[in-house]
Amino acid sequence: MKVFITGMGIITAIGAGADETLSALKSGRSGIGGIRRFDTVHRHIPVGEVKQSNEELCDLLKLPTVGRYYSRTALLGLMAARQAMRSSHSVTPVRRVALVNATTTGGMDYHEMHYRKLSSDDIHAQEMELLDCAGGTHLIAETLGITDNVTTVSTACSSSANAILTGVRMIRNGLADKVLAGGSDAITRFTLNGFNTLEILSPTGCRPFDAHRNGLTLGEGAAYVVLEPEKTALPDDVLCVVSGYANVSEAYHQTSSSPDGKGAAMVIRQALSVAALSPDDIDCIHAHGTGTQVNDLSEGRAVETVFRNQIPPLSSAKGCIGHTLAAAGSAGAVVSVLSLGEQLLFPNTGFNHPMPELSFQPNTLLRKATVNHVLSNSFGFGGSNTSLIFSRY
Amino acid sequence: MHAYITSIGLISPQETAGNRFSFDLTYENAPLLRCIEPDYKQLIPPLQLRRMSRILKMGLGAAQICLKNTENLQPDAILVGTGLACINELETFMLSMLENGEQGLSSIPFINSSHNTVAAQISRMLHNHGYNSTYCHRGASFESALTDALMLLNEKNAEHVLLGGIDEYSKQYHLMLQKLGHAAVGGEGAAFFLLSRVPAGKVFARVTAVRTCYKPAADFIDTFLSAHHLHNDDIDTVLCGVNGNMQDDRIYDHPAERIFRRDTQWASYKHLCGEYTTSGSFALALAACSLLDGRFPASCILRNPRRPQRILIYNHYHRLNYSLTVVETVR
Amino acid sequence: MDKTSLIEKLKIQIIESLTLEDVKPEDIDSEAPLFVEGLGLDSIDALELILLLEKRYGVKIIDPKTRREALQSVSSMADCILKKQKTGAAECRTTTDDTPPENKDMHGKA
């Protein structure tokens, strides 16, 4: 059974909506800059913030604000989720709509700002609702009227790739007729400090696959896709087919990927096998490409292992939007869909010097090309590796 | 879609021996039920154990107990449902960040606060490269993971899935619940299951349907039953999530009066494990063991004691996340 | 403090900060490599040891090469501390490498 993407929504540091995102990707414009949204001693570390404030997001979403509390992760999620649902129409009213959301921070941005209040007697019921991963999912479900199979995946940086994978399988297994799947994460002091203790934040802005790469850059945002089977999808809405997907555990280290990219190669091969495609069918790769020493080497080696001497054009969008954590996989899906729709290869921002360990370098130019199949990778803490393949229809 | 429960590993506030519930379940009249924990050194490699938080030990411990009973079979997939995940590590890192002005922080609580830590560390312990995922959706976390497990088996992408539900007591969270009037006996636990596509070895029971809903419509039980071609009298036992909170417990009145037959057996389980976001995993362990034994422990039976054949586990968390699970005997 | 007593103190602190429950100070060979072989420590432990040097001894090491040298063994950690106490330098550097410290990450995943 074919599962289509029939709608999508995105908000990141380079803009809100597919159109703004496309024009930024075409121009290679980066959304990475200073930290404006919260107070921290790590001011010098660049990040990819979404331009709108929480108040502006509430305004755009027409949400009541008096006596109500929202986490930024939830607001960003609702922005992108609403766009996605609005852009997909379906043939007939669909009965069973599911929501598979993804987040790693949940209501952390609110929690860390109001920590003292939460342990006082003044705590409001709705503030507690924000605390965990489910709070933001509930806001999206409530606002968009979804009640069936409402759930949240949290597998670190591969979370929303797994949300899409689960959504596709829900349709294939007959559990849902339409699935809204994706993820959302705001930048928080918690994640900034967390990644800082691991010493993997770039002091200059990330440079995926560059010999002088010096760490990742945190981004924030949300991205969602609407998944539908052939029978209910409106032909005009069909953006692409989700043809391949796989999830494997590398089981190598708690935070690090193996230097030889064993887990990454394994997951890419499995996704190709689900899609019944061979490596040379892939026209471009949307890489995980975080810009850390370990990831880019490991992912690069995995790509060499699978594609040997015919490596398709590869690029990572993290050089302009940053690493949006739980939203990275679904943002990758949106970028892949844009690539298929426009028949374009997007440049890998921030690249200058080829890595001596690799036989290839990322694509640095915006160019027209025949794009039929895009591979999108997402790798997370704990060896959580997921690959998705999007194909033209 | 269905799955055979072929092994169970349980760490809960009740004494368990291997994968067997003891039947003299002790009713504890305490405001809080904490787990009786095994000696983890017997279960987890020491080098891995040293950096582990309590929830990780509970998760890996329960997973090991579950797999030990299967002669250490290597599962094809590992799935974990956890409502609050590593909330205590999250708290530790946040407090240390706030108190130390974001300077000189240890990375360990941050690493261990990642929601997928339990599932990922199990895969490392087992050197398992299979499918690995974690669902964190408060009261529907375990049932979401169970749904995924049923899909994997149905797709024939897995013969055996290791599935767990796990949550740990958090003082801070418990206090917030009390302040907001969600009064109930707090609990925690780790329940792991080996779910198999075909019956093999010791079979406890068979899971045939699961469904989660967020603020569902009033007729959602009827819709669920008819979607699975079940009639109300096909269910002989309802294992429900009453927790002693009047507002929460009122939810179960409607199905008792309107949906199920008067002679349906009603049972409860939260007096044994307390209220927590993945208590549904404890309920599934209890249901599976009771099907195998042909009866529920006396302390669980609310009315109409009988031999259970097909149990509906009906639970909700704070009247937001609802779940329904059908589990039946294989004899 | 002489090197021998510093080494003994360090061993206790290492056991404590890395929660090496079953290891006793006398089990640690002062000259043996700390990582992979020897105690079997990994990159997360390395970050903890760097933090230990920073917090307890005021020794801040940024340069990856210097770090590798300092964390060779308990003995080399002690040398690094003694050197800092003698020179009073804020950062323990054994090389004259002036290139900006590359972000030596061992946890590239994320």
Q: Region B80-96: what's the mean pLDDT?
A: 95
Residues B176 and B304 in one domain: no
Average pLDDT over residues A195-204: 96
Residues A205 and A333 grouped into a single domain: no
Q: Report the b/e string of A267-299 with b at 16+ CB within 10 A.
A: bbbbbbebbebebebbbbbbbbbbbbbbbbbbb
Q: Judge whether C57 lies within some domain.
A: yes
Chain B touching partners, 3 or more CB pairs below 8 A: A, C
- Shortest distance between the Cα of C56 and any Cα of chain B, in A, equals 11
Decide if C23 touches B, using CB distance below 8 A.
no
- Predicted confidence (pLDDT) at residue A211 exceeds the cutoff of 60: yes
Say which range, B24-33, B262-271, B277-286, C82-91, has the weakest mean pLDDT.
B24-33
**Between chain A and chain B, how many beta carbons pairs sit less than 8 Å apart?**
193
pLDDT at B183 (0 to 100): 82
Q: What pLDDT was estimated at residue B21?
A: 63
Give the residues across from B8 on adjacent strands: B193
Q: Is residue B52 part of a domain?
A: yes
Is C108 within the bounds of a domain?
A: no
Regarding whether A114 and A257 lie in a shared domain, the answer is no
Flag whether B34 is in a domain.
yes
* Judgement on whether residues B179 and B99 belong to the same structural domain of the protein: yes
Shared-domain flag, residues B187 and B216: no
Q: How confident is the model at residue A369 (pLDDT cuts 50, 70, 90)?
A: very high
Please say if the pLDDT value at position B27 is more than 60.
no
Share of chain B above pLDDT 90, in %: 84
Is there a single domain that holds both residue B173 and residue B73? yes
Q: Which residue of B has its CA nearest to C22?
A: B46
Residues A121 and A156 in one domain: yes
Determine the 3-state secondary structure of B108 from DSSP.
helix
CB contact under 8 A, A150 and B137: yes
- Is residue C107 over pLDDT 90? no
Distance CA(A373)–CA(A385), nearest Å, equals 20
pLDDT over 90, % of chain A: 88
Based on the fold, state whether residues A288 and A254 are members of the same structural domain.
yes
Residue ending a domain, among A237, A270, A295, is A237
Same domain, yes or no: B33 and B172:
yes
Question: Cβ contacts (< 8 Å) between A380 and chain C: which residues?
Answer: 109-110
Mean pLDDT score of chain A: 95
Q: Is residue B203 part of a domain?
A: no
Q: Looking at the structure, tell me whether residues B192 and B274 fall in a common domain.
A: no
Tell me the CATH number at A379: 3.40.47.10
Residue C93 located in a structural domain? no
**Judgement on whether residues B115 and B248 belong to the same structural domain of the protein:** no
* C82 falls within a domain: yes
Residue span of the structural domain in which A84 resides: 3-237
pLDDT at position B8: 94
**pLDDT tens figures, A223-282:** 999 999 998 899 999 999 999 999 999 988 878 888 899 999 999 999 999 999 999 999
Q: Is residue B68 part of a domain?
A: yes
**For residues B330 and A215, what is the distance between their CA atoms, to the nearest angstrom?**
54
| Contact (Cβ atoms closer than 8 angstroms) between residue B312 and residue B239 | yes
ipTM of the complex: 0.97
Q: Are B107 and C40 in contact (CB < 8 Å)?
A: no
The last residue of a domain, from among A179, A212, A237? A237
Domain boundary among B196, B218, B252: B196
Q: What's the length of chain A? A: 393
Tell me: do B152 and B33 sit in the same domain. yes
**B66 and B123 share one domain:** yes
- Residue A88: left (phi > 0), alpha (psi -120 to 50), or beta? beta
Query: Is C62 exposed, middle or buried (CB count within 10 Å of its CB: 0-12, 13-18, 19+)?
Result: middle
State the smallest CA–CA distance between residue C96 and chain B in angstroms.
Answer: 26
Substitution target from C23, C24, C35, C44 for chain B, most B beta carbons within 10 A: C44
Domain C-terminal end among B196, B220, B237: B196
In a domain, B201, yes or no: no
- Confirm whether C20 is domain-assigned: yes
Residues of C in contact with A383 (CB under 8 A): 109
Q: Are residues B66 and B121 in the same domain?
A: yes
Interface of C with A (CB under 8 A): 42-44, 47, 102-110
Same domain, A10 and A154: yes
Q: In angstroms, what separates the C-alpha of A296 from chain C's closest C-alpha? A: 8
Asked which of A237, A259, A280 is the last residue of a domain, the reply is A237
Q: What is the mean pLDDT of chain B?
A: 93
Structure confidence by residue, pLDDT tens digits, B187-240: 999 999 999 999 988 999 999 999 999 999 889 999 999 999 999 999 999 999
* A357 and A310 assigned to the same domain: yes
Give the model's pLDDT for residue A13.
98
Domain boundary among B196, B223, B257: B196
Q: What CATH number does residue B227 fall under?
A: 3.40.47.10
CA distance A381 to chain C (A): 5
- Cα separation, A138 vs A150, whole angstroms: 8
Q: Is residue C70 part of a domain?
A: yes
Residues facing residue A380 across a β-bridge: A384
Chain B residue with minimum CA distance to C49? B106
The shortest CB-CB distance from C44 to any of B49, B104, B111 is to B111
Q: What is the pLDDT of residues A222-234, one digit of tens each?
A: 999 999 999 889 9
Domain extent for C31 = 3-87
Total of domains in chain B: 2
Element (H, E) at B109: helix B108-112
**Assigned token pair, B12:** 């809960």
Q: Please state the rounded mean pLDDT for residues B7-34.
A: 75
B229 with B290, same domain: the answer is yes
A154 and A261 inside one domain: no
Q: Which residue of A has its CA nearest to B94?
A: A190
Q: Is residue C19 part of a domain?
A: yes
Assigned domain for B216 exists: yes
User: What pLDDT is recorded for position A94?
Assistant: 80
Identify whether C47 is part of a domain: yes
**How high is the pLDDT of residue A362?**
98
Per-residue pLDDT tens digits for B36-64: 999 999 999 887 888 899 999 999 999 99
Indicate yes or no: CB of B107 within 8 angstroms of CB of A42: no
Does B313 map to a domain? yes
Number of domains in chain A: 2
Q: How confident is the model at residue C90 (pLDDT cuts 50, 70, 90)?
A: low
A233-255 burial string, b = 16+ CB within 10 Å, else e? beeebbbbbbbbbbbbbbbbbbb
pLDDT of C96 higher than 80? no
Please state the rounded mean pLDDT for residues C104-109.
45
Residue of B nearest to C20 (CA): B50
- As a residue count, chain B comes to 331
Q: How many domains does chain C have?
A: 1
Cβ of A251 within 8 Å of Cβ of B93? The answer is: no
pLDDT digits (tens, 9 = 90+) for A342-360: 999 999 999 999 999 999 9
For residue B241, the enclosing domain spans 208-328
Residues of A in contact with B119 (CB under 8 A): 155, 382
Is residue B255 domain-shared with residue B108, that is, in the same domain?
no
Q: Within a domain: residue B240?
A: yes
Which of C40, C47, C55 lies at the smallest CB-CB distance from B47? C40
Q: How far is C2 from chain A (nearest CA, A)?
A: 32
Q: What is the pLDDT of residue C1?
A: 76
Q: Are residues A52 and A157 in the same domain?
A: yes
